């Protein structure tokens, strides 16, 4: 690795410019933090005129992230897991989902849908995922052939695949898929000016996006209350927790969580995977020659991409993590991206190795009750996406650099130019 280790004291994770740095620079910065400032404290980043809070600790080592994540009574999610700033109460109507709840209520709500996301249940979806992928790739090839052979992988492949799958599971009609995608782009834009130009508008736009999604959900929920089908919405409106059905707010929040979490993450993993196979062609050749590599390859793509960069916890009492003291109320940000490159856990962590085994990455979260609900679904989508890409687009080449999302939260790729050469 030729990147120079930065001065650990000069790193500021709250500066949005840090997240615009090239990936190797950011990785070097986290390596410096792991080595020299493993519990670095930072002032909170600005967010939409809200009063700045007291600051947060960056948890960057694998073992420390695991300790925080696996002790939910000491490090809770109830003060908000997806925002460093303490959010105003109005936003809870749309964004106060189970991801920012603690047990027992969190577990009760999660169990309503956990069956729908298990491996055996997802078997029933296999055909659907395959059909969706076939059509997406056929449409992408048409786009390429009608032009100069190029297309945007994100727009035509990695975004539509998880979108169509999660919408189908939820029962969202096809003609509303694009609207759903637009709202989730806003919500997870993270400060990238492509999506929100004016910071003053950020709060309003994020609220409106929540309202739009809640509106879609409201109509769908009514229909499913009248007539149940096998979809997730029917399960959501029918099931009772503690003898009560979920409130309208809870259903809206849940729906938004599934739309947001079910879209941005998997598409990011697929996009990073395609780019990595381009950067490391010997890995691509290895996988094509040996399809039995798929299981470890998919895990390595998730580790490499680390689509969700962090989640927040808040200390519920004075406590400690591997010898470091925290006070009640301290905000801790678990940096999964850094844990996933921890040199004390992963041999040659900066090597993209599709055979990496074991691979105890935290791309789906570290151990704990909030472990990714959609992990099996994501693995299946990524598996099918790459199998189909190898089968149907052996002539795919990356044609340019990825256009990266400028966000501390999602390691997103907005565009990835690719071309089909028509040869293979």
Partner 1 sequence: MSEANATVDEELCVGTGICEATAPDLFEVGDDGVSHVLVASVPEDRLEAARRAAADCPTRALKVE
User: Would you tell me which residues interact with partner 1 (CB under 8 A)?
Assistant: 70, 106-107, 110-115, 117-121, 365-369, 371-373, 375-376
State how far the Cα of 95 lies from the Cα of 120, in Å rounded to an integer: 30
Shortest reach from residue 298's CB to partner 1, in Å? 12
Min. distance of Cβ 253 from partner 1 in angstroms? 17
By beta-carbon proximity to partner 1, the closer residue of 80 and 365 is: 365
Q: How many CB atoms lie within 10 A of CB 59?
A: 31
Residue closer to partner 1, measured from CB, 84 or 232: 232
Q: Work out how close the CB of 99 gets to partner 1 at its nearest, in angstroms, rounded to a whole number.
A: 12
- Min CB(65)–partner 1 separation in Å: 13
Q: In the complex, what is the shortest distance from the CB of residue 409 to partner 1, in angstroms, rounded to a whole number?
A: 21
Query: What ranges make up the beta strands (E) of 200-281?
Result: 240-241, 244-245
Specify the 3-state DSSP secondary structure of 326: strand
Instruction: Find the helix packing angle between 177-187 and 160-170, rounded to 10°.
Output: 110
Q: 112 vs 132, which CB is nearer to partner 1? A: 112
> Cα–chain-centroid distance for residue 132?
21
**Distance between CA atoms of residues 321 and 294, nearest Å:** 36
Shortest Å, Cβ 63 to partner 1: 16
Identity of the residue, 170 or 187, whose beta carbon is nearer to partner 1 in the bound complex:
170
Q: 56-59 and 75-76 as β-strands: parallel, antiparallel, unpaired?
A: unpaired
Question: Cβ-count burial of 256 within 10 angstroms (0-12 exposed, 13-18 middle, 19+ buried)?
Answer: buried
Strand (E) or helix (H) holding 211: helix 199-226
Q: Supply the minimum distance, in Å, between the C-beta of residue 110 and partner 1.
A: 5
Looking at the Cβ atoms of 41 and 371, the one nearer to partner 1 is 371
CA distance 366 to 89: 28
Residue with Cβ nearer partner 1 (286 or 376):
376
Sign of the Cα pseudo-torsion (275, 280, 282, 287, in order): negative
**Contact at 8 Å (CB) between 398 and 366?**
no
Q: CB-wise, 14 or 239, nearer to partner 1? A: 239
Q: Nearest CA to 335 among 300, 311, 371, 301?
A: 311
Nearest approach, Cβ of residue 115 and partner 1 (Å): 5
Is residue 174 within 8 Å of residue 167, measured between CB atoms?
A: yes
Q: How far is the CB of 233 from partner 1 (least distance, A)?
A: 17
Least distance between partner 1 and beta carbon 168 (Å): 20
Please give the helix or strand (H or E) that residue 254 lies within, else none. helix 248-279
Between residues 105 and 286, which has the closer beta carbon with respect to partner 1?
105
In the complex with partner 1, which residue's Cβ is closer, 112 or 261? 112
Compare residues 137 and 297 and give the one whose CB is closer to partner 1. 297
Nearest residue (CB) to partner 1, 184 versus 340:
340
Tokens of residue 390, six digits: 């190898």
Cα–Cα distance measured from residue 203 to residue 201, given in angstroms and rounded to the nearest whole number: 6
Cβ 32 to partner 1 shortest distance, Å? 30
- Long-range pairs, 5-12, Cβ under 8 A, ≥24: 5/31, 5/32, 6/32, 7/32, 8/32, 8/33, 8/35, 8/36, 8/37, 8/40, 9/37, 11/37, 11/40, 12/42
């Amino acid at each position: 690795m030729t990147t120079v280790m930065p001065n650990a004291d000069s790193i500021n994770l709250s500066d949005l410019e840090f997240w615009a740095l090239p990936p190797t620079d950011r990785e070097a910065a986290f390596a410096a933090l792991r080595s020299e400032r493993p519990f670095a404290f930072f002032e909170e980043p600005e967010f939409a005129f809200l009063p700045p809070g007291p600051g947060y600790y960056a948890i960057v080592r694998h073992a420390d992230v695991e300790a925080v994540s696996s002790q939910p009574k000491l490090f809770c999610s109830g003060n908000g897991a997806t925002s460093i700033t303490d959010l105003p109460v109005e936003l809870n109507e749309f964004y106060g989902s189970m991801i920012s709840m603690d047990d027992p209520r969190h577990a009760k709500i999660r169990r309503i849908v956990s069956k729908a996301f298990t491996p055996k249940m997802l078997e029933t979806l296999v055909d659907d995922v395959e059909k969706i992928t076939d059509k997406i790739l056929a449409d992408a090839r048409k786009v390429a052939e009608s032009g100069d052979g190029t297309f945007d992988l994100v727009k035509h492949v990695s975004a539509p695949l998880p979108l169509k799958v999660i919408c189908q599971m939820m029962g969202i009609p096809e003609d509303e898929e694009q609207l759903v995608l637009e709202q989730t782009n806003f919500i997870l834009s993270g400060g990238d000016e492509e999506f929100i130009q004016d910071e003053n508008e950020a709060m309003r736009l994020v609220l409106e996006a929540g309202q739009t999604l809640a509106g879609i959900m409201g109509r769908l929920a009514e229909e499913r209350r009248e007539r149940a089908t096998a979809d997730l919405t029917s399960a959501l409106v029918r099931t009772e927790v503690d003898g009560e059905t979920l409130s309208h707010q809870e259903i809206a929040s849940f729906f938004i969580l599934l739309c947001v979490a079910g879209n941005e993450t998997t598409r990011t993993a697929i996009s990073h995977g395609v780019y990595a196979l381009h950067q490391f062609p010997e890995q691509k050749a290895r996988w094509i020659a040996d399809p039995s590599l798929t299981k470890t390859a998919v895990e390595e793509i998730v580790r490499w991409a680390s689509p969700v960069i962090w989640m927040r916890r808040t200390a519920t009492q004075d406590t400690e993590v591997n010898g470091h003291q925290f006070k009640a109320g301290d905000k801790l940000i678990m940096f999964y991206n850094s844990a996933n490159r921890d040199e004390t856990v992963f041999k040659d962590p900066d090597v993209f190795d599709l055979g990496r085994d074991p691979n105890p990455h935290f791309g789906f979260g570290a151990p704990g009750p909030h472990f990714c609900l959609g992990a099996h679904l994501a693995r299946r989508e990524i598996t099918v996406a790459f199998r189909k890409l190898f089968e149907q687009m052996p002539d795919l080449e990356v044609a340019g650099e990825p256009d990266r999302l400028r966000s501390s939260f999602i390691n997103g790729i907005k565009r990835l130019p690719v071309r089909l050469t028509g040869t293979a």
